[in-house]
Structures are given as structure tokens and as C-alpha cells.
Structure 1
Amino acid sequence: MHKKRVLLLSEGFGSGHTQAAYALAYGLRELDPSVQTRVIELGKFLNPVLGPMIVNAYRKTVSKQPKLVGIVYRRQYKKSLNRLTQLALHRIFYTHTSQVINQLKPDLIVCTHPVPNAVVSRLKRLGLDVPLYTLITDYDAHGTWTSPEVTKYLVSTPLVKKKLTDRGISEDRIEVTGIPVHPNFWHTHDKPELQSQFELKPMPTVLIMGGGWGILYSDNLLEYMTRWRDTIQLIYCVGNNDRAREKMLSDPIFQHPNIRILGFTREVSKLMDVSDLLVTKPGGMTCTEGLSKGIPMLFYEPIPGQEEENCEYFIQNGFGEMLDSTATIDKWFKLIQEPYASVQFRRNLLTKRNQQYNPTQCSRAVLQLLQ
């Protein structure tokens, strides 16, 4: 019997796109071990030297000129990638994409980033006969995600579906599945066991995340949080930002028994379970992971564009609040020290989550489409 093969294509412009691809791949195999999956960051795979250079340039632009990123995002908001752009991308970076697809022989291609989505769309116009599913990994629908060749769009919310239908895309090509998270986020771990595993104290705990690139908030508010270190346990997770980690480790302000500074870790699901509050940039993936855990979130410095839209969605739906002052820190750090209030708030979030989000839904939807 032929085993179904799913090829998931992403790009490294922010860690969330590839995380979503891996989450979907893991979810598919969790539900049906016979499904074969392959995740590829296409640009890096085809151009191992040039690809990472372009991603690094984008990373620097995001961190140093976020307003420019926002301007470009809004100017192109309603525009899909035109055929000339698709041709240029294919000729310069993606000339061997068809060979990769022919070699792997997938029954289905899922793209979690607009660029491979555009490249595969062009190949379909040239005769590629493989269904193309586009997993939009934010709570917005930028025009670059859209293409007539897309078989089905998998989207986070009914609002994103409406944004696509407003652009003339028929409803039967759109399915609201939520953004997939790794199966580790499907289940809750035992808190005392986690406290023992991570050598943490049984006290109110805040997890501060800088995303995969480790872009943290302004030094002033980072330092202000440490004023609570005698009563609040602080876990700073700075991802791959080794410079920020070394700087913080050498700073006396962060040298305290109730402060932990971590680099890249694969234990985020456990760290969310052991924490009472998440402080994070509003990337679509991290926010969805927080949603799946029912942890209250404070959002800082959204990148203009998609992160602003992510932020708006989660705030409007009561899953978080914008971190814009020390007063916000004081409010939430006091709340999580009140056991009844903290537990009740999290229960309310889990009830909302169950009404709006099922972490297995995206994987189940793709399995059904494979039948």
C-alpha cells in the first residue's frame, strides 16, 4: 500500500514559519504514523551560502529598521507576488525546486511561507500536478500568500478566512484549522515535576521570551522586572542571541537565585506549563503555543505588520495585553501572586481556548485532505 508523502516547504525569515511546518509534520505522524513527511527551508536547502545571508540581512532589518518593514508590508498588503517576481525568484534562487519535488514525489505540498508558495504556484502553472496547500502562519492575510494555483488555504481564524474571501477567493478553498503546534503543546505536564526538572522554586513564575532570534525588549523594562525577583521567579529565554545572554549573565542585576537565563531550548512547552505568565513578542507561532497552554500573555514591540495584527487578535479575544509601561508589569506580577485569582484566570483562558482552538485540528484537516 502506498504511504502518503507530505512535503512541507518553509523559509527562515523568522522561526515561526518553519516551526509551524515541523509542528504539522509531527502532528500528522502522531495521528497517523504511516504518513511520511519532509520539512525543507527551501532557500537554505538550494542555496546553502546565499540563503542564510539573505535571512541574516532580513533579521538585521527587522531589529534595526522595523518601521521600514512595516512600510513594505502595508504597501504590498493587497498584492500577490506577480509573475515577473515569481520568475525572478525561480531563476535566481529556486531553479532546482522541480527536481527536489520530482525526487521526493509528494502526494501533497504544504507551504508555510509565501516565497516557496509562489515558487510552487509557478511550477503548477507549468504543469506540476500536485495539490498545493498554503498554511498562513499569522492572524492576518497578506496578499503575498495568495495565488490562483493554491488548492486550499489553511488559516488561523474566521477573520482571516473573511479577508481572503473579500479578495475573491471562494469559501470552499479555505478551511479554518488554527495554526498547528507541536504535539508537546497538546498536553499539560505536571508542574511539581517540572519544577524539580528545571531546579525551579514553587513560586509565581514569569517566562520572558525573545523569539527564535532572541530579540528582547528594551533594557529598562527588562531591568524593571528584576525588582520583583524576591517574590517572582523570572526565566529569560533569549533563543539564539548569544550576545544578549552573555551580557545578561555578566550583569549583576540578573545574578539572583530566582532568575534563570536560557539560550535556545526545545523545552518551551514545559517552560510554559511551569510558568504563570508569558512575556513575548507576538509572533504567530509563539502566541498560538501560548494559546494552546492557556497562559496569559504580555506582548512587547510587535514588528509593524503581521505582529501588530497578531497582537490585536489576542488582545481583543482576552488572551493577553500590550506591555507598554511599568504599571502593566506591576498589575500582572501582583495578580499571579494571588493563587485563586491566577488559577481562575488561567481556567477561563483554557475555556476560551477550547471554544476557539483545537491543537490537533490542522493535522486532522490535512489527513482528511490526503484521503
Structure 2
Amino acid sequence: MSVGELSMKNSTTGSGDAAAKNGILILHATAGAGHTRAAQAIGAALKARGEAFQLVDILDCTPALFRRMYVKSYIDLVQKAPELWGYLYDRMDVVRPATSKRVKARLAFNQLNSQPFKKLLKESAPRAIVCTHFLPLELLSDLKGRGKIDVPVHAVVTDVSPHALWVYPNIDCYHVATASAARELVRKGYPAEKIRVTGIPVDPVFAERTAGPAARAKLGLPEKPTVLLSSGGFGVGPMVEALESFRASSAEISLVVVAGKNAELEKKCREVAKTLRVPVTVHGFVTNMHELMDAADLIVTKPGGLTTTEVLAKGKPMALVSPIPGQEQRNCEYLLEAGAAVRLYDVGDAAFYLTGWLADAERMKRMTAAAKAIARPRAANDIAGALLGGV
């Protein structure tokens, strides 16, 4: 991470003015919506307890050019060259010793540009720090190792597999999704006694479940078997192709599409929806995803860590599309092995597969049970408790 001019315009606080000092400092990064949603979920859990916290986008502690390039390069890479991203992901998944030239060079560069980040730490004087993105962990580990800070630092891994970029020696506690993730951390050299299998934190609203008919009635949707096609916050995924597969379909189902912040995707989905006999409701970015999930019988999504965790909390079966090589592929494999999802390989024939799965009542029942069995809807509350308990 490179740190430059400090800008706090996107930070938020909880529990009043006191939150900016001596509370819990929650660090996230707007490189993928999931990291931010995980941070917000922890904030919501702390707020419910009446605890002070400060939510800060670590990219606001970087130069504007770095911030733009970091987010843009990631999105461009996973959309336009996913195989290259997967290659880089695997190559970088090695915990290197602190004595390696690469680690020394990266740390020296970060230290040289870390004054705004150090200023943030000094001004907020947090009682504990929790990171839902790996960017700040190296600096925090170094500062703790040199005795420059003496507060508990927690890391919350937002996918089922903890990549080596998350692993640093002086982090006090890692919160991971599964027992397998904990084992992977141990194999990468982290002490088992400092790992908690909490699950990935999601907003408490996803832990509340409303029956499908009631949810559909509230949202004004047809009372039919319903498929939700979600493209995530950034609007990524082959949703137009999935919709186009319904051109010849007259299936007695209803489709709901969420295009996220991708205005072009939303426009294309609306155009295709007008040509279909199947009823389709198209949304852009939404703030009631929990209600849309309640209304759905099957959810089509890319296997991002946060989205799939929210779906599990709702106890809904998934059809997974276009996993990015690397973290999403590992998420996908975990969900398939658990029996909570199916893989939609041929998106161009989505209508055939989706209607078939919906009609298979026994399969849907098994997937629903599997989703509920591996869900950890109280993860945010458990992490909040660990932060306040000084773990």
C-alpha cells in the first residue's frame, strides 16, 4: 500500500462525536464492494451495542492517482483479463520471509509514504483496529513489531480462502469463514490460537428471514417461482446473456435483475426485458437486497465472498456464474462441495437450467438445507464481541 495525502471525506463514525477517538477503528477499501459491506456490518453490530467506532476507507489515505488506479486496475483486470488475474493470484499466494528483498522493498516504500496513515492512528487513538481488506495489515504489523503502536489489530478475511497477502506476523487475531480457512492460515505460519472461525460478517438484516410469498407481495412481484439475478455492487457478470436465453421461454416464473452501479448493464437488461414473455423486474443499485433475496427461490450470482455469505444467511440456494480465477473460484468450489449451490456453466442456456432446477423440488430442498447448515449470520456480532473483549 502506498500512502499519501489524507482525505477523510468518506469516513463515518458511530455513537456520536466520541466515536472519532478511543473507539474501534474499522479499515476497509473500496476495491470490490464486499470489503466495504463487511466493514459496515461490523459497524452495525458495534452500533447495536452502543459502542463508538470509526469507519475509514484506507484508500482515502492514499494519493488520488493511486486510489483511482488501484480500483480501476483491479476491475479492469478481473473483467478483461481474468486468466491473468488468476495467474497473479496464484503466484502471489506465498508468504515470503521478512528478510526477502521484495518484502523489504515494499515495506520501505510504504514506510516512506505512511505519515497520513500514522496521523489517522494518532488522532483516532483507537482501542482496537479491525481490517476487512489486507492493504493496511503490513504497515500495522510493522508498527506493532517495532513497538510504535500497542492496540489489538484484527483481520477479517472476506473470502473462504486466506490469501498470503493477508498474512502478517504481528496481527492479534484473524477471523475466517471456515475451519478449512483456519487450517490454511496455520499452514501459512500463523498461530492456531489466534484464529477465530466466525464466518464472514454481513449486515444483521440478512439474518432475518421473510417467507417468499410475503416478500413478493411487499415488493409487488408476481406470485410465481422467482429467480434473482445479481451482478454485485459494481455490476459485473453475464446478466444480459442470461436474460436473452429466455426469449423463447414462456415458463411460469418471475425474474428480478440487480445491475448494481453499472448503468450500461441496467439499460441493456431493461431493453431485453421488454422483449420477453416472462415477467422481469430490473433494478440498478439497491439498498434492499435483503428483501429481494427473501422474495427469491433461487439466486444467480458470481461467487463473491460477501454476496454468497449474504445468500447463505438468508438460507437460499445459488446458481453460480463466471467465477473469477482465484478467490471467487475457491468460493465457488466451497459452495459446490457443501451442496449449497449449482454451477451455471452455459449462461446462454440459463432459461433451460434455471427452470429445471426450480422444478426439482427435492434438489431445491437439499440446497436450501445445505445453505442454512453452513450459514453464520451472527458473524458480525461475534467479531464485534471479540473486538470489545480485547482478543
Distance between the aligned counterparts of 1:217 and 1:47, measured in 2?
A: 33
6, 16, 25: which is aligned to 1:7? Answer: 25
Give yes or no for the alignment of 1:89 onto 2:116.
no
Distance between the aligned counterparts of 1:261 and 1:347, measured in 2?
A: 25
Distance between the aligned counterparts of 1:331 and 1:255, measured in 2?
A: 17
8 Å contact 1:208–1:280 — kept in the other structure?
Answer: yes
Distance between the aligned counterparts of 1:345 and 1:333, measured in 2?
A: 17
The verdict on how the C-alpha distance between 1:49 and 1:121 changes in structure 2, with shifts beyond 3 A counting, is: same
The verdict on how the C-alpha distance between 1:210 and 1:252 changes in structure 2, with shifts beyond 3 A counting, is: closer
Report how many residues are paired: 363
Distance between the aligned counterparts of 1:89 and 1:204, measured in 2?
A: 52
Counterpart position of 2:356: 334
The verdict on how the C-alpha distance between 1:358 and 1:52 changes in structure 2, with shifts beyond 3 A counting, is: same
Distance between the aligned counterparts of 1:84 and 1:365, measured in 2?
A: 33
Alignment of 1:101-250 (within 5 A): 101-126=121-146, 127-217=148-238, 219-228=240-249, 230-250=251-271
Deviations 1:1-20 (Å, cap 9, x if unpaired)?
x9872111111221111111
8 Å contact 1:79–1:143 — kept in the other structure?
Answer: yes
Distance between the aligned counterparts of 1:205 and 1:37, measured in 2?
A: 39
93, 100, 120: which is aligned to 1:100? Answer: 120
In structure 1, runs of 5+ residues without a counterpart are none
Counterpart position of 1:51: 67
- Secondary structure of the 1:134 match is strand
Distance between the aligned counterparts of 1:337 and 1:257, measured in 2?
A: 16
Distance between the aligned counterparts of 1:135 and 1:319, measured in 2?
A: 23
8 Å contact 1:238–1:261 — kept in the other structure?
Answer: yes
- Secondary structure of the 2:385 match is helix
- Secondary structure of the 2:37 match is helix
Distance between the aligned counterparts of 2:317 and 2:381, measured in 1?
A: 25
In structure 2, runs of 5+ residues without a counterpart are 1-17, 97-101
Distance between the aligned counterparts of 1:64 and 1:328, measured in 2?
A: 22
What amino acid sits opposite 1:54 in the alignment? Y
Distance between the aligned counterparts of 1:84 and 1:366, measured in 2?
A: 35
Deviations 1:112-156 (Å, cap 9, x if unpaired)?
111112222222234111111011110112111000111111000
The verdict on how the C-alpha distance between 1:256 and 1:331 changes in structure 2, with shifts beyond 3 A counting, is: closer
More displaced 10-residue stretch of structure 1: 49-58 or 239-248: 49-58
8 Å contact 1:139–1:309 — kept in the other structure?
Answer: yes
User: 1:218 Cα deviation (Å)?
Assistant: 6.7
The verdict on how the C-alpha distance between 1:106 and 1:258 changes in structure 2, with shifts beyond 3 A counting, is: same
Deviations 1:296-317 (Å, cap 9, x if unpaired)?
1111111110100000000000
- Secondary structure of the 1:79 match is coil
Deviations 1:323-357 (Å, cap 9, x if unpaired)?
1126675344234246x54773465235xx34x33
Percent identical pairs in the alignment equals 29
What amino acid sits opposite 1:14 in the alignment? G
8 Å contact 1:223–1:253 — kept in the other structure?
Answer: no
User: 1:91 Cα deviation (Å)?
Assistant: 3.4
Q: Kindly report the root-mean-square deviation, in angstroms, between the aligned alpha carbons of the 2 structures.
A: 2.4
Give yes or no for the alignment of 1:68 onto 2:57.
no
301, 309, 313: which is aligned to 1:280? Answer: 301
User: 1:365 Cα deviation (Å)?
Assistant: 4.0
Counterpart position of 2:377: 359
The verdict on how the C-alpha distance between 1:116 and 1:226 changes in structure 2, with shifts beyond 3 A counting, is: farther
User: 1:89 Cα deviation (Å)?
Assistant: 3.4
- Secondary structure of the 2:332 match is helix
The verdict on how the C-alpha distance between 1:342 and 1:266 changes in structure 2, with shifts beyond 3 A counting, is: farther
- Secondary structure of the 2:165 match is helix
Distance between the aligned counterparts of 1:187 and 1:152, measured in 2?
A: 28
User: 1:45 Cα deviation (Å)?
Assistant: 4.7
Deviations 1:41-65 (Å, cap 9, x if unpaired)?
1113544554134212221121111
TM-score where L is the length of structure 2? 0.85
Counterpart position of 2:55: 39
What amino acid sits opposite 1:277 in the alignment? L
The verdict on how the C-alpha distance between 1:318 and 1:329 changes in structure 2, with shifts beyond 3 A counting, is: farther
Distance between the aligned counterparts of 2:383 and 2:283, measured in 1?
A: 35
17, 20, 34: which is aligned to 1:16? Answer: 34
Deviations 1:136-187 (Å, cap 9, x if unpaired)?
1101121110001111110000001111111222111111000011011011
TM-score where L is the length of structure 1? 0.90
User: 1:273 Cα deviation (Å)?
Assistant: 0.5
